[in-house]
Each structure stands twice: as structure tokens, then as C-alpha cells.
């Protein structure tokens, strides 16, 4: 926990920079460990830096330089942070000092060989379909739906946890004719080849992108929504879970599966499922290009490409469909109709049902009229009289 005074400084930073809640939590953690390693509050550290600045002490001789170097060593040796986490944390710390208009000294370049390096991950290190299948088989509806969704959509943890029921309704709109979730679930329940188009906001960049998920993921989502006991409304979360608890659930799954890992990381986690999605869709001569996979996972284009090139979600889905077997877990293949063909099949089935209904009504009407004629003219009596 950070002090009340430091908390007020954090809130001032959040409001001034219009920071998201998830980023605020990251800054709170940065402050917590910085004050812990230095033995002073953030307010005291800022005041100290301002005082030395006012006294005209040269940057290289200021206490702040020693503190930054000391804290970096603390992150490496005490917190056991990886290189990239150390770099991100120090960048965040410098941002805090910059916000309070403190001059920042240069500190010596980090000897990267002295920092803990995590094992390089290769394709053979990714979770296998068999491992993912085992995880699904021991999971409750929520985690089953989330795993199948991330594996086939490539969505990151933040985006997955921020999706609303309305997003699911809009993503599947080609396959139903309603905006009421209960009607939507009823219309979708007998369709087994749905490939939705999700329009997702990437939390890191606040930019929108398109992605898709597999029919088995849709089936799992429908099953999960039907299992919920709360009243479903369009503004509620599609998956009732937050990012931190999702991490806990993945840790529990890893433990149940015997603790599969790569280096110090659990093998079954959202980041590895995204790697599974990207690596498998890229496989083979007809696999998706790296640009197409970046598009599906919401990675940012450079400014020139962003200004002139726009992704056509329906064209991208066609190529995704040609590779969908690579991200299917419970099925090796799946027969996929385009929404247009699916609509025609549904219309044909409705027409057949209507035709059968009309035929039955005609048969019933004819039978009823014949009976009326027999009764009116007492035909049965006449036939009986003549022994017929």
C-alpha cells in the first residue's frame, strides 16, 4: 500500500494525463516498489529532487541519479524482474518525475547480460492442441469459452475481459435478427458454423480492429451465457471476470494439469494462447501473412499504412476460414457456410416447414369437408343399408 499523500499525488497524475484504470494500477505498483526501495514517500522524494534542483547542484551529482541507479538494481536483484520489465518500470518512473517537472539525469546504460534472461520461446514450446483440449475438458463453462475464444481470435487478456454482450450480438448479427440476447441465443443454438466478426478496441492503443472466432468458441460462449444465473443485458460483460482473476484461473489450470511451463512462465496463459493463434494461422503455403495476423491481433500499423490502407473484414474472414482448422481444438475440420449461404439454407428450411404446414392444413380441411358431406347426405347410412 502507498501512503494517503502519495495516493493523492497518483490521482492527480491520473486525472491530468487521462490515464486508464489499468495504467493507474501499473503506476501504483511502480510507486509502491520505488518508495519501498528508497525508504521515503513519493512526496518526500519529489521534494528532495526539487530542493537539489533549486540549489543548483549539477545533475550528475544529484541524489536522484543515485536513487534511480539504486532502484534499477533493486528491480533486478530483489524483484527478479526481466530486462523488458525493468525497462518499462524505469520508463514509468521517469514519467512520474517528468509530470512533476523534475530534471532527470542520465544514468549508465544497463549491462543487459546482468539481467535475468528468460528462455527463448519457439514453436515447439507452444501449448499443443492436446494440452489445450485437456484444459477445456476440466474447465467450467466460463474458462472453456474464454480459452476457445482466445485461441481462435487472438484477443489479448484486456480485450477479452472488456467485451460486452452487445459486442457478441453485433459480431453474430449476420446469423440472427434480434438485439435481445435471449432471442439471439435461441436463434443461434442450432447453428454450428457461426464465424462472427468482432470489432474490438485494443486497450493499449485505443484503436479498433476486426477479428473472428471459431464456431466451437461460439458454441462454448452460448453454453456459458445460458449457464449464467444473472439477468443478461446488453451492457453486461460477455465474460464475467477481470484480468487479475483470469490470471489466477489460468494458474489453477496449470496446477491441475501438472504445472506445464517454459522457463519461469506457465505454459497455459493468455499470452501463449495468442502465440498459438498467430503461429498456427501463419503455417503452410496458404497461411495468413504476418500483416494479416497483426491485423487480427490489433497490432498497430505505422501512420502511413494506417492513413491509406483499411482492412476489409469480410475478405480477411475468407482467408481466416481457409485456415480455421489450425485453431480448432475439439474438431479437426468444420464445414463452414458463408452467412449468405447460411441465410439461404435457413430460408429454404423455413419455406419447407411452411409448405408442410400448409399441406397439413389442406389435408385437414379436405378431410373435414368430406366428413361434413358424408354427414349432410347421410352417406354412411346409405352405404350401410346396401351392405357397403
- Centroid of chain to Cα 347: 33
What whole-number distance in Å separates Cα of residue 310 and Cα of residue 313? 9
User: Can you tell me which residue has the cell 516498489?
Assistant: 33
Please tell me the predicted confidence (pLDDT) of residue 110: 85
Q: What is the pTM of this model?
A: 0.69
Please tell me the predicted confidence (pLDDT) of residue 55: 95
Please tell me the predicted confidence (pLDDT) of residue 95: 95
Task: Return all residues near 329 (Cβ < 8 A) that are at least 6 apart.
Answer: 129, 132, 133, 136, 148, 151, 216
What whole-number distance in Å separates Cα of residue 50 and Cα of residue 45? 9
DSSP states along 65-91: HHHHHHHHHHHHHTS--BHHHHHHHHH
Please tell me the predicted confidence (pLDDT) of residue 303: 53
Nearest to 151 by CA among 179, 172, 132, 174: 132
| Positions in the chain short of pLDDT 70 | 1, 114, 116-122, 260-265, 301-311, 332-351, 383, 386-388
Three cell numbers written together for 293: 495476423
CA dihedral for 35, 40, 44, 49, sign (positive or negative):
negative
Q: Is 306 exposed, middle or buried (0-12, 13-18, 19+ CB in 10 A)?
A: exposed
Task: Return all residues near 25 (Cβ < 8 A) that are at least 6 apart.
Answer: none
Answer yes or no: are the C-beta atoms of 178 and 251 closer than 8 Å.
Answer: no
Q: What is the CA radius of gyration of the chain?
A: 31
DSSP states along 20-71: -HHHHHHHHHHHHHHHHHHTS-HHHHHHHHHHHHHTT--GGGSHHHHHHHHH
Three cell numbers written together for 362: 389442406
H runs (alpha helix) in the chain = 4-17, 21-38, 42-54, 63-77, 83-99, 129-137, 141-153, 157-162, 165-171, 181-188, 215-227, 243-256, 270-281, 290-296, 303-308, 313-322, 339-376, 379-385
Write the Ramachandran bin of 328: left for phi over 0, alpha for psi from -120 to 50, otherwise beta: beta
Please tell me the predicted confidence (pLDDT) of residue 308: 43
What whole-number distance in Å separates Cα of residue 286 and Cα of residue 8? 55
Task: Return all residues near 230 (Cβ < 8 A) that are at least 6 apart.
Answer: 236, 240
SS3 assignment for 288-304? CCHHHHHHHCCCCCCHH
Distance from the first to the final alpha carbon of the chain: 100
What whole-number distance in Å separates Cα of residue 86 and Cα of residue 109? 12
Three cell numbers written together for 65: 541519479
What are phi and psi for residue 123, nearest 5 degrees?
-55, -40
What whole-number distance in Å separates Cα of residue 116 and Cα of residue 114? 7
72 C-beta neighbours (distance < 10 Å), count: 21
Query: What's the CA dihedral at 213, 216, 219, 221 to 10 degrees?
Result: -50
Amino acid at each position: 500500500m502507498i501512503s494517503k499523500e502519495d495516493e493523492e499525488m497518483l490521482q492527480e497524475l491520473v486525472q491530468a494525463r487521462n490515464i486508464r484504470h489499468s495504467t493507474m494500477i501499473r503506476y501504483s505498483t511502480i510507486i509502491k516498489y520505488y518508495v519501498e526501495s528508497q525508504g521515503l514517500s513519493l512526496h518526500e522524494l519529489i521534494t528532495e529532487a526539487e530542493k537539489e534542483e533549486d540549489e543548483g547542484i549539477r545533475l550528475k551529482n544529484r541524489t536522484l541519479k543515485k536513487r534511480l541507479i539504486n532502484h534499477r538494481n533493486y528491480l533486478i536483484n530483489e524483484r527478479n524482474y526481466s530486462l523488458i520489465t525493468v525497462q518499462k518500470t524505469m520508463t514509468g518512473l521517469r514519467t512520474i518525475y517528468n509530470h512533476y517537472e523534475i530534471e532527470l539525469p542520465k544514468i549508465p546504460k544497463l549491462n543487459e547480460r546482468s539481467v535475468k534472461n528468460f528462455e527463448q520461446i519457439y514453436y515447439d514450446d507452444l501449448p499443443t492442441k492436446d494440452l489445450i483440449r485437456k484444459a477445456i475438458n476440466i474447465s467450467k463453462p466460463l474458462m472453456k469459452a474464454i480459452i476457445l475464444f482466445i485461441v481462435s481470435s487472438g484477443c489479448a487478456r484486456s480485450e477479452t475481459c472488456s467485451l460486452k454482450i452487445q459486442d457478441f450480438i453485433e459480431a453474430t448479427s449476420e446469423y440472427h435478427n434480434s438485439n435481445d440476447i435471449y432471442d439471439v441465443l435461441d436463434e443461434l443454438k442450432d447453428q454450428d458454423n457461426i464465424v462472427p466478426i468482432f470489432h474490438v478496441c485494443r486497450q493499449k492503443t485505443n484503436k479498433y480492429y476486426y477479428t473472428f472466432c471459431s464456431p466451437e468458441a461460439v458454441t462454448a460462449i452460448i453454453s456459458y451465457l445460458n449457464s449464467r444465473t444473472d439477468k443478461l443485458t446488453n451492457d453486461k460483460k460477455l465474460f464475467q471476470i477481470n484480468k487479475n482473476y483470469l490470471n489466477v484461473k489460468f494458474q489453477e489450470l496449470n496446477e491441475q494439469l501438472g504445472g506445464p511451463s517454459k522457463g519461469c512462465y506457465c505454459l497455459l496463459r493468455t499470452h501463449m494462447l495468442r502465440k498459438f493463434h498467430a503461429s498456427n494461422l501463419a503455417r503452410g503455403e496458404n497461411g495468413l501473412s504476418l500483416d494479416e495476423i497483426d491485423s487480427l491481433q490489433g497490432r498497430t500499423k505505422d501512420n502511413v499504412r494506417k492513413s491509406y490502407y483499411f482492412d476489409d473484414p469480410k475478405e480477411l474472414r475468407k482467408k481466416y476460414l481457409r485456415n480455421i482448422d489450425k485453431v480448432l481444438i475439439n474438431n479437426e475440420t468444420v464445414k463452414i457456410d458463408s452467412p449468405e449461404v447460411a441465410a439461404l439454407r435457413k430460408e429454404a428450411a423455413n419455406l419447407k416447414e411452411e409448405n408442410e404446414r400448409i399441406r397439413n392444413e389442406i389435408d385437414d380441411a379436405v378431410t373435414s369437408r368430406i366428413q361434413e358431406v358424408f354427414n349432410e347426405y347421410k352417406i354412411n347410412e346409405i352405404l350401410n343399408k346396401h351392405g357397403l
